């Protein structure tokens, strides 16, 4: 009889509560590019010449970072960047209003994010090139994005662009 009572008590007991799983994109690697998140005024590095505005947002529960690039002149575009755990690297897809589509991959190099990809026509005289972008946080809350291009498979590099992202007027610094 005691065994029947114990069995009935065990069957009526509530199942053990399991801890909820951690969010899918909450690893430290998913946070590596968070320093770029914000509303920015973008300047040619070393100058006060405003060249663009850019809105960089963490989206989809931290699983992606979306960029909306809004130049004062020229064509706009944007990118999605995400940590790919199975590949152990970052991936960024850039698309702009001219129809350009570029896939970049990479990861952290010290305190900077470095992404590279093949960009048709990005080299001198319209030659295809490998573009390397380095995103570096600055102590004052700014972010530098320095781009270089190689048309000889990475043997030599030429500066392509150099921007400093400063928090937009009235915007909160990222973080």
Q: Is a pLDDT exceeding 80 seen at residue 102?
A: yes
Q: Is 72 inside any structural domain?
A: yes
Q: Is 41 inside any structural domain?
A: yes
The CA distance from 124 to 116, in Å, is: 18
Q: Is a pLDDT exceeding 70 seen at residue 153?
A: yes
Find the range with the poorest average confidence among 24-38, 73-87, 120-134.
120-134
Query: What digits encode the pLDDT tens for the residues 109-141?
Result: 999 999 999 988 777 778 888 999 999 999 899
pLDDT classification of 19: cutoffs 50, 70, 90: confident
Q: Is 9 inside any structural domain?
A: no
Q: Is 110 inside any structural domain?
A: yes
Q: Is 143 inside any structural domain?
A: yes
Residue span of the structural domain in which 133 resides: 26-167
Who's near 33: CB < 8 A, 6+ residues apart?
65, 81, 90, 113, 135
pLDDT classification of 18: cutoffs 50, 70, 90: confident
Q: Is 64 inside any structural domain?
A: yes
Mean pLDDT score, 32-48: 97
**Tokens encoding 32:** 């590596």
Tell me if 166 sits within 8 A of 40, measured CB to CB: yes
**Overall number of domains in the chain:** 1
pLDDT classification of 104: cutoffs 50, 70, 90: very high
CATH assignment at residue 89: 2.40.128.20
Q: Is 61 inside any structural domain?
A: yes
Average pLDDT, the chain: 89
Q: Higher model confidence: residue 120 or residue 67? A: 67
Closest Cα to residue 130, out of 152, 100, 161, 109? 152
pLDDT value, residue 58: 96
Q: Is 48 inside any structural domain?
A: yes
């Amino acid at each position: 009889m005691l065994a029947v009572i114990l069995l009935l008590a065990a069957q009526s007991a509530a199942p053990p509560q399991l801890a909820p799983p951690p969010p899918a994109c909450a690893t430290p690697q998913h946070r590596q590019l968070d320093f770029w998140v914000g509303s920015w005024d973008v300047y040619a590095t070393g100058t006060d010449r405003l060249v663009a505005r850019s809105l960089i947002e963490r989206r989809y529960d931290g699983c992606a970072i979306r960029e909306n690039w809004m130049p004062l002149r020229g064509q706009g575009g944007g990118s999605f960047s995400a940590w790919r755990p199975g590949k152990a690297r970052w991936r960024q897809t850039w698309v702009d209003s001219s129809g350009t589509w570029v896939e970049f991959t990479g990861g952290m190099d010290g305190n900077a994010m470095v992404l590279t990809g093949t960009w048709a026509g990005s080299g001198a005289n319209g030659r295809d090139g490998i573009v390397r972008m380095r995103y570096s946080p600055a102590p004052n809350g700014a972010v530098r994005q320095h781009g270089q291009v190689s048309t000889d498979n990475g043997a030599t590099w030429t500066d392509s662009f150099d921007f400093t992202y400063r928090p937009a007027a009235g915007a909160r610094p990222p973080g």
